[in-house]
Amino acid sequence: MTIAVDIARSTPRSVEVVGIPVPSEGPVPRALGLNRAALATHGFEGKLGQTLVLPAANGATTVAIGVGKPADLTAASLRTAGAALARACAKRGSVATSLADVDAVDTRSAVQAVVEGMILASYRYVDLKADKSTASRLERVTLTVAPAKAAAAAAGAERGLAIGGAATLARDLANTPPKHLTARLFAEQAVEIAHAAGLEVEVYDEHGAAELRLGGLLGVNAGSTEPPRMVKLVYSPRTPNGHVALVGKGVMYDSGGISLKPSDPMHALMKMDMTGAATVLATMSVLKALKVKTKVTGYLMCTDNMPSGSAMKLGDVLTIRNGTTVEIHNTDAEGRLVLADGLSLAAEEKPDAIVDIATLTGACLTALGQKIAGLLGNRQPWIDQVKAAAERADEPVWQLPLAKEYRKLLDSNVADLRNIGGPYGGTITASLFLNEFVGDVPWAHLDIAGPMNVDADEGWLTRGATGFGARLLIELVSGFRPIAG
């Protein structure tokens, strides 16, 4: 799906749909041709995300778009309104709107938000369907702004297209069935994307992983007939203002291994257990286009977790890249094992900061639900940067404590650690496990087990994989500031 965006002074005559923003209070735009009382008879109040389609006998269809109270207008609400408009005209090829021509939000941010909302709401994964009628037909969007705002609007549109495209790439990867996207195929796509995006790329197969001593990755992969892959991506701008490492969990399909998952709807979603790696790849894919000034290194830790005669067993001990030994008490706690190798590799390069992102714990889904990701880390200034980026991206996170008093729950009788910490506080103990592999580098962990998927369209989210984290990470590395101390 590709949407072209034009910036113009006025609405083109050939456009099929005209979107008119309507607040929930105050005057109604004259161009709509209806007053507030008439709108009310149609059940339209101007609430954020409401739409009312008004067909015309001749010319363009008009769509009223609710933007809520003028005093509450933000980039996030413009993103939601843009998404609502895109859904309302999904069966038309072109739309024009003044939605981004506002005073409450700077023009660049307003346009970026509207473009992102329209791209993300238009997304549908129909690659494997014979009937593709559910796909959006929207191909061209014209955003009308005052002439003085045109340059800023063009910059916002360019950024919105890049970031929206990255998020849809992450969704495509996460929605793809495991048979169609093995670790090998994922690595091949990563190489293609890296070459197109001006990135350095290295791919390590099972033999390369053994040479790198990636005991966590190889241990998780032991039960699979599909070999693992570790992909390293590097974006190196001139005179970088810092260096950030991103580590993504890429468990292409998680059966639970010997600790087999129950056959329930969540098991069917385990093709999305590679969403962390998908978001890192998607992030890396647009850094050059966005002229990001931070050096970024990405590690994609990719494997299946399958049960078989060769699979790792409870009681086995694995040796992670940094030499730490780990006793296995649950083979379904595998994501932290592959991340441990990736974090060890990242920490060795002494970046200014590290973020890992993973669909890691059901405990986080239980605690925070499907809309909010868990955030933990070892340095508050770095955590604060992640929180600020999440707010700009409208991808909500909630900080949980890295409670050191729970560390003893990871003690093992035969190894340095065990890979689970008991029945309670699973998100915290998993994060404490990861903390063992980052050394003294500022580090943040994003647990996206909850928001990796949604069951129905809502706002800029569409049913299925959300690509949560891609836009957050892009905002984070775009605005990175080195951490003092």
Strand, helix or coil for residue 387: helix
Alpha-carbon distance of 83 to 261, in angstroms, equals 36
Sign of torsion, CA 444 447 452 454? negative
The DSSP 8-state label assigned to residue 461 in this structure reads B
Closest CA to 111 of 146, 138, 69, 136: 146
Task: Extract the tokens encoding 431.
Answer: 């994060």
Strand, helix or coil for residue 373: strand
Catalytic residue among 69, 184, 213, 261: 261
Q: Is 137 a catalytic residue?
A: no
Closest CA to 186 of 310, 298, 346, 312: 298
7: phi then psi, degrees, rounded to nearest 5: -110, 130
Strands 229-235 and 295-305, sheet pairing = antiparallel
Task: Extract the tokens encoding 305.
Answer: 């977790």
All residues at 6 or more sequence positions from 193 whose CB lies less than 8 Å from its CB, including other chains:
169, 199, 281, 284, 285
Catalytic residue among 336, 392, 418, 471: 336
CA angle 75, 358, 398 (to 5 degrees): 50
Q: Is 261 a catalytic residue?
A: yes
Alpha-carbon distance of 25 to 402, in angstroms, equals 45
Alpha-carbon distance of 389 to 475, in angstroms, equals 5
Alpha-carbon distance of 345 to 349, in angstroms, equals 7
Tell the burial category of 263 from Cβ atoms under 10 Å away from its Cβ (0-12, 13-18, 19+): exposed
Q: Does an H or E element contain 271, and which?
A: none
- Beta bridge partners of residue 251, listed in sequence order: 303
- Beta bridge partners of residue 317, listed in sequence order: 327
Sign of torsion, CA 462 464 468 470? negative
Q: Which residues are catalytic?
A: 261, 336
